[in-house]
Each structure stands twice: as structure tokens, then as C-alpha cells.
Amino acid sequence: MIKKPKKLLSNSNILPITILLVLLVGFFFYALKFSSQFFVIIVFSNLIVVFVLLFFRKQLILSQTDINLQKEDYSEQLNLLSLDIEKEKVALSSFRERIGGYTKLKAVAEKLSQCSSCKNAADILADEVMALFGRGDTTTILYLVDPKTSDLEMMAARRIESKINIKFKNGDLFDHWVIKNLKPLLITDSDRDFRFDIEKIDELQKDRQRRSVMIAPLMVGMRVFGLLHLDNPQEDRFSAEDLRFLSTIADLGAAAIENAQLYERIQNFAMKDGLTGLHLRRFLLERMSEELPRQLRRKQELSLLMIDLDHFKKYNDKFGHIAGDIVLKALGDILLKMFDKPGNIVCRYGGEEFVIFLPDCSKEQAKELAESLRKTISEQKIVLRREKTNITVSIGIACFPTDAQIKEELIQKADESMYQAKRKGRNRVCCF
């Protein structure tokens, strides 16, 4: 609180002034009695002047002292106000950073909400984290937990200044610490962190220098989906505020990945046969709508194989419906093994019928593949109720665009070729 200036004549100074004035007046009348009037007046006037000068000199000294004290008070209060202003500036800057952080989080959340596949969500999450924290030679790695083995599996890795050479693709000792303790990890200098064995850290540094490490688990409830791992060869590259922000992003990423995994499972149920694991007709038709125009633009051929089990009913009649399922599953395994190449689609078209979609495949190539498939199936031994038996198939081939111009026509031509193989005695390949 600012002090007010003191009055020159305060209550504490009035009493001594009054006493001095009374003494001077008494001295004046006493002198008039024994001295000349003129001399007394001169002396008295001089005394009054001296007294007034001394008094006001003292008051000026006191007033100057008081002013100096007030200046010190003002200076102290100014310093306090400056500190308050600095605190307000820091708080305002922090508030602005939080608003900026919330804006960034909103952008990340919007991008993740549009992901329909786990791989897509992982790539977006790695890109966004790298954009936010990628200072210098920082490495960003996203691990996901394999639901079958419970091991970490590297899904995405990013670095700005140099190529990435990740030796520990299933996580390092820092990642395993986070998985074990179910909480984030911040290391400002790995050489001085007492939580980890220095010998193990030295062995780890041979792969890639990582003095600063920041890891946040992707969790839903108490279940870990994966890890967001950042490291840098320099010390003190990440702060506690960075870790809190990364943990918030990890929570968004965990929800997005869980949703993507759930969506993929639903899609698999809708697009894949539960018995054979092959795609269903709906998936085939959707892919054909996309692929036929592309093949036409590239002036390439594609082929379609229509496959039907010969005398399938006898397996059900002789060995029961479970035996029929075994036969279908065995045939599906053979088809997947032989045609497991990018672009190929193996589909259970319905009942005992199967379709193989072969992009960039001419009719002559399709004939060779179909004949090899027919021979492999006929030589396959299947045990049904302790009895070894063989199965055979009839295969029809149609080619786009030589045999058909649209997908419905292509399927029809392949189906006609397949029935032609049946009419000719089964266990054979026919082309339209």
C-alpha cells in the first residue's frame, strides 16, 4: 500500500514549538525590564529568525528522509508489480500454449476418427506425433501388441534427418519397462538414470544412441494396445509437459486403433467365410468393379477361374456333413496356398463353388495355373473317418476383355466353362 507524505507540522512537533515560543515571549518581557527597548527588539527578532530557520531546517531534513523512505516503498511496490506482470505473462503464455495444444489435439482426433484400418490409424498417429515432437534427430516408433503372441510389433517408424535402422523391432528395455509398469516413461539422460542397468543401456546404445527417451502406452482400461516411443541422441530433449501431451495423444490413438480393429473384425465377418477363411461373393464383386476399369485403362488381361467340387453330395451322404466341411476347408487351404499373391482374390462363391480372380493374367497363363491346381487337388489325400479319399474339381476359365466386357458377363462365361468341364466327365479344365 502506498504511503501518504507526512505533514511538516505534525502533532508531535506542536508542543515543543509552543514551549519555545512561551519561553521566548517570557524572555522578551524580562529583557524589556532591564534593557533598552530597541536592543531587546533586535535581539528578539534575530532569535525568532534563528529559531524559525533551525526549525524548518530540521523539518526539511525529516521531510527529505520521509521522501526517501517513500521512494524506497514505491520502488519495492514497483518491483512487486513487475513480478506480478511477469507471472501474468507466463500464465497467459501457458494458456495460449494450452489452447494451441487443444487445437492440435482436435486436429489429431479428427484425422484418427476417419481411420477404418489399423495400419492407416498407425501411420496417421506416427505422422502426427513426429510433426509435434520431431526435433532434430528424433526417432518416432509406434508399436502395437500382437493379440495372439502378446509381443510388441513395430507398425510405423519416422525420422527427419537420417534413415531409420531399427534393430529392436519388438521393443527395447525401455519399452518393456512401460509394458510391465503400465505407465509412461520419461528419461532426460539415459546415462544417469538409476532405474536401468547401465550395462544393458550401453549394449542398447550400440544400435542407436538414445540419451533422451519418452514413451506413452496406448491403453484402454488396463489393456495395452501398443506404445508411442520417441528417442533422441541428445539429453534433455523432452520435458514432463511433453510427456503429458504425448499421453493424451496416446489415449486418442488407443481409442482410434481399438475402433479400427473392431471395424476390421466386422468387415472380416461380413467379407470372409467363417469355415474356409476365404472372401465371400460380396467382396469379389466390389473388387471386380474397381479392377476391371483399371485393367482396361492399362490394356491388360485378367482371368477368372470358377471351381466346383465333383460329387460333393456323396461326401455328405457317406461321411456326414462334418466330413463335407472338412473337404471344403481342405480345398480352401489349397487355394490360399497356391494363389497367395498380391492382387489375387480367392473367394467362396457359394456352397461348393469357389472363384479365383487373377489380375494381369492372360488366358494361356490361367490355363496353366488351373491345370496345376486341378492336378494338385486330385493328388491330395483327405482322411474322413479314418478313410483316405481323394477329391476332384471341375474348373472353368473366362478372360477379360476378350470373353466379356462387364463383371456379370465374365462370371457367367466362367460358370458356363465350368459346367462344360462337368459335362465332359469332370476333373478337367475348360475355357470359354
Q: Which residues pair with 395 in a beta bridge?
A: 307, 429
Cβ proximity of 388 and 382 under 8 Å: yes
Residue 231 carries which side chain, given as an amino acid letter?
D
Comparing C-alpha atoms, which of 420, 377, 376, 378 is closest to residue 398? 420
Cβ proximity of 253 and 132 under 8 Å: no
Comparing C-alpha atoms, which of 267, 266, 253, 263 is closest to residue 156? 253
Contacts of residue 74, Cβ cutoff 8 Å, sequence gap at least 6 = 2
Annotated catalytic residue 199: no
Concatenating the DSSP letter of every residue in 264-277 gives HHHHHHHHB-TTT-
Residue 331 carries which side chain, given as an amino acid letter?
L
Sign of CA dihedral 208, 212, 217, 222: positive
161, 352, 408, 409: the active-site residue: 352
3-state secondary structure 396-423: EEEEECCCCCCHHHHHHHHHHHHHHHHH
Q: For residues 32 and 26, what is the distance between their CA atoms, to the nearest angstrom?
A: 10
Catalytically active residues are 352
